[in-house]
Amino acid sequence: MFKYVHHIEYVIRNRDELVAYVERKFGMKPSEIREKDGGRGKEARYKVGQTLVRFLEPAPGTKQAKHLEEHGPGIDHVSWGVDDIEQAAKQLKAKGIGYTDEATLRKDRGMAPSQQGFTGINMDQKDTLGVFFQIAQQTAPAGKSQAGTGPAAKGSTGKGPKGS
């Protein structure tokens, strides 16, 4: 079902400090520095092979800020790439894995089209041993807006927690 790691999101205390650290220690520059959709924080993105690695300095009051406060910096979630998100959703549902009602800001029946050109589904953590799992299908080159297109715009199944 899972084909590759689509993206990994870390929560961090200071984006600009982290960007300087990664360049100094690993010789890597971000492919993009941006504000997170909906004012949810500041983000630095690195493309590592097929995988997007995102570092988020969350805005106060967000779920990611609460996670950072409680657990310190680290991985917020890993999103697994799939070829057909509709089919993957059906397979997961048949195995008893649901989706939470608190989907992202662009919620449409659990599937959330992203501004980064993918559609994602967040699995309900009560069905995943408390781990925040997400699946994603790339629907356009990264960075291309997909608002109003893709599987989510056509309708789908499931419910979808933390935004991506």
Q: Which CATH class is domain 4-154?
A: alpha beta
Q: What are the DSSP calls for 30-56, one per residue?
A: -SEEEEPGGG-EEEEEEEETTEEEEEE
| Residue whose structure tokens are 């501004």 | 115
Domain ranges for the chain, please list them.
4-154
Among 111-115, 127-131, 139-143, name the most confident range: 127-131
Q: For position 111, what pLDDT does the model report?
A: 64
Q: Which of 119, 102, 84 is nearest to 7 (CA)?
A: 119
Work out the average pLDDT over 68-95. 92
Q: Encode pLDDT of 12-52 as tens digits.
A: 999 999 999 999 999 999 999 999 877 889 999 999 999 99
pLDDT level of residue 129 (50, 70, 90 thresholds): very high
- For 136, list phi and psi in degrees, rounded to 5: -145, 145
Q: For position 152, what pLDDT does the model report?
A: 29
